[in-house]
């Protein structure tokens, strides 16, 4: 994931995913490159961050640099990558453009809820005999991403496509005042969408509803092509019939059919279909970006408890900011631990810890349901953590693709003394000031704020500054000797209400403040 995209997602800013098959297989170079740049610029202009998805040398990229865009646009031997193609393309180190299906998978894994494309695939004409049905439709039935498109490509069987989407449980809504389902180049298809949303706010509410229900299916928002640049339905239909006849004569089927049809339509309509194609892509980018901005605002408002239906019913609650760890404790059976690579008999167990998690756990068991701010990865440990913490409110905890959930491994002797400890806790640095500041209102109203030493220094200073301004009660748990002194590097410590150091941590704090160690409490190993 491109760093700017990752940062935007962490901060809850609007991000719009874009496909790359239109770059690799939809238009010729250099027109495809200028189109891609223009679409990204439209997304940016309308307040969102573009994240074009592509496969480069066997790796999925979410967000492309200009050089990477040019590579895909100018390369000759790139693959059209749908769900079925991903394993092979990645394993072979190939490059390719992602289809609607492929892009949805990457967007969902990255945590991007909105994806803009030209038009989705569907049931091909004659599909009742050939069973040629685009993987885009099944992807919409099993991947919770909102797809903004100009409906279904008009070269397809639109009626059967809508029936198939219904079978897959996909919520389909036309965008605007009409329920008329658009037909890509044309504004009318002769079919009605099941629902319609009048503006980006209604679209955002619909998407938020789907995400909130936890449905595994997506949403299709069908946006008609701008009136002034839409192609005549009759002209397009005549060209489609001619192109289909030629495709049948040449035996063109499968994933080669759509690129062939679009190219042939461009020839038969003297470029009118390509002009409409460019117009609808640009329009979809504008509409999709506005929906993404509206969705981001809606999610932030709900997260902060700003909606009227939440304000009066949710009492202020404690806030805990700190780490989550998966701990592996290995205790030797024999008094002497053998080195040299030998296996020592013992018992290994897994527990769930992290100072912040422990505090939030205790408060939850006391019935106080704290707001817990922390970070975990999307890996083999995250599901176990969430399952174990089912009694806690984990809704605000960051789940980050490509990051590892913090783990700690301790090897202890049979007598219970720590022999060696190893920690992988880099993810705690993602508990940033920017992330925590999204919950400023909750912090300012909290009867108690708990923060542990795993949290970055800038975040601790931010919380202490809020405490100073709003007279908050803050409990600081130093965590360990090396982290204990963070608030004491400045005047931040003066606003702390409670602190719970052990003797080692207290000595470290004392040294940081420049105080002499009082007689009688020297620490010895």
449, part of any domain: yes
Identify the pLDDT of residue 237: 67
How many domains, in total, are found in the chain?
A: 2
Which helix (H) or strand (E) covers residue 114, if one does? strand 114-116
237: which strand partners?
A: none
The reply to whether 75 falls in a domain is yes
Residues 358 and 505 reside in one and the same domain: yes
Give a yes or no: residue 361 inside a domain: yes
Q: Are residues 357 and 260 in the same domain?
A: no
Q: What is the pLDDT of residue 308?
A: 45
Q: Is residue 388 part of a domain?
A: yes
324 with 295, same domain: the answer is no
Q: pLDDT for 339-375, tens place per residue?
A: 888 899 999 999 999 999 999 999 999 988 899 999 9
Whether residues 256 and 356 share a domain: the answer is no
Q: Is 19 a catalytic residue?
A: yes
Task: Tell me which residue of 258, 281, 283, 290 sits closest to 35, measured CA to CA.
Answer: 281
pLDDT of residue 521: 67
Cα dihedral 170, 120, 180, 189 in deg (nearest 10)? -130
pLDDT confidence of residue 523: 53
Closest alpha carbon to 63 in 40, 80, 41:
40
pLDDT of the residue at 522: 61
Residue ending a domain, among 278, 303, 328, is: 303
pLDDT value of position 314: 56
Would you say residue 522 lies in a domain?
no
Of 80, 153, 255, 403, which one is the catalytic site residue? 153
**Assigned domain for 400 exists:** yes
229 and 355 assigned to the same domain: no
| Same domain? 348 vs 270 | no
* pLDDT for residue 213: 84
Residues 356 and 495 in one domain: yes
- Summarize pLDDT for 408-463 with one digit per residue, the tens: 998 999 998 888 889 899 999 999 999 999 999 999 999 999 999 999 999 999 99
Place of tokens 């000031």: 433
- Clarify whether residues 78 and 108 are in a common domain: yes
- CATH number of the domain within which 485 lies: 3.40.1190.20
Query: Whole domain around residue 426: which residue ranges?
Result: 319-513
Tell me what pLDDT residue 17 has. 98
**Which position has the token pair 């605002």?**
297
Same domain for 332 and 425: yes
Q: Which residues contact 466 (CB under 8 A, 6 or more apart)?
A: 440, 443, 444, 472
Domain boundary among 243, 269, 303: 303
Judge whether 309 lies within some domain: no
- Residue 110 placed within a domain: yes
Q: Residue 179 is part of a domain; what is its CATH number? A: 3.40.1790.10
Query: Are 258 and 389 found together in one domain?
Result: no
* 220-250 core/surface letters (b: 16 or more CB in 10 A; e: else): bbbbbbeeebbbebebbeebbeebbeebeee
341 shares a domain with 281: no
Which residues of the chain register pLDDT less than 70?
230-234, 237, 255, 303-314, 520-525
**pLDDT at residue 260, as a whole number:** 84
Catalytic residue among 19, 180, 200, 477: 19
- What sections of 352-405 are H helices per DSSP? 355-365, 382-388
In this structure, how many other beta carbons lie within 10 angstroms of the beta carbon of residue 341?
Answer: 5
């Amino acid at each position: 994931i491109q760093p700017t995209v990752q940062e935007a997602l962490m901060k809850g800013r609007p991000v719009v995913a874009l496909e790359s098959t239109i770059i690799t297989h939809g238009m010729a170079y250099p027109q495809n490159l200028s189109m891609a740049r223009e679409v990204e610029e439209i997304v940016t202009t309308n307040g969102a961050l573009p994240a074009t998805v592509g496969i480069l040398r066997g790796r999925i990229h979410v967000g492309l640099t200009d050089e990477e865009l040019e590579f895909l646009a100018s390369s000759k031997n790139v693959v059209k990558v749908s769900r079925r193609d991903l394993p092979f393309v990645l394993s072979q180190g190939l490059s390719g453009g992602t289809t609607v299906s492929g892009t949805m998978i990457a967007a969902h894994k990255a945590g991007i809820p909105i994806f803009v494309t030209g038009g989705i695939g569907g049931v091909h004409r004659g599909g009742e005999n050939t069973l040629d049905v685009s993987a885009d439709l099944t992807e919409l039935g099993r991947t919770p991403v909102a797809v903004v498109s100009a409906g279904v490509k008009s070269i397809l069987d639109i009626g059967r496509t809508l029936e198939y989407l219904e079978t897959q449980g996909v919520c389909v809504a036309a965008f605007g005042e009409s329920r008329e389902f658009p037909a890509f180049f044309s504004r009318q298809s002769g079919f009605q969408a099941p629902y319609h949303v009048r503006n980006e706010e209604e679209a955002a509410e619909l998407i938020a509803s789907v995400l909130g229900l936890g449905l595994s299916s997506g949403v299709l928002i069908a946006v008609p092509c701008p009136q002034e640049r839409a192609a005549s339905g009759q002209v397009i239909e005549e060209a489609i019939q001619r192109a289909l006849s030629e495709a049948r004569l040449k035996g063109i089927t499968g994933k080669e059919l759509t690129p062939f049809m679009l190219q042939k339509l461009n020839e038969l309509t003297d470029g009118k279909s390509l002009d409409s194609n460019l117009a609808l892509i640009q329009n979809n980018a504008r509409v999709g970006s506005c929906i993404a901005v509206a969705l981001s605002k809606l999610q932030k408002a709900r997260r902060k408890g700003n909606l009227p239906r939440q304000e009066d019913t949710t009492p202020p609650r404690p806030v805990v900011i700190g780490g989550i760890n998966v701990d592996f404790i290995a205790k030797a059976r024999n008094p002497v631990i053998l080195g040299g690579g030998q296996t020592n008999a013992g018992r290994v167990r897994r527990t769930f810890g992290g100072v912040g998690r422990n505090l939030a756990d205790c408060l939850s068991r006391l019935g106080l349901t704290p707001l817990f701010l922390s970070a975990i990865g999307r890996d083999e440990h995250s599901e176990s953590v969430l399952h174990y913490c089912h009694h806690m409110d984990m809704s605000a905890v960051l789940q980050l693709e490509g990051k590892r959930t913090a783990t700690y491994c301790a090897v202890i002797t049979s007598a219970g003394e720590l022999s060696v400890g190893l920690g992988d806790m880099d993810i705690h640095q993602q508990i940033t000031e920017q992330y925590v500041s999204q919950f400023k209102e909750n912090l300012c109203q909290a009867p108690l704020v708990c923060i542990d030493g795993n949290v970055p220094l800038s975040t601790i200073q931010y919380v202490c500054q809020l405490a100073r301004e709003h007279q908050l009660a803050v409990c600081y748990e130093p965590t360990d000797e090396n982290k204990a002194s963070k608030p004491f590097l400045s005047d931040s410590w003066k606003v702390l209400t409670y602190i719970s150091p052990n003797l080692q941590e207290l000595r470290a704090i004392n040294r940081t403040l420049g105080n002499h160690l009082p007689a009688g409490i020297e620490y010895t190993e």
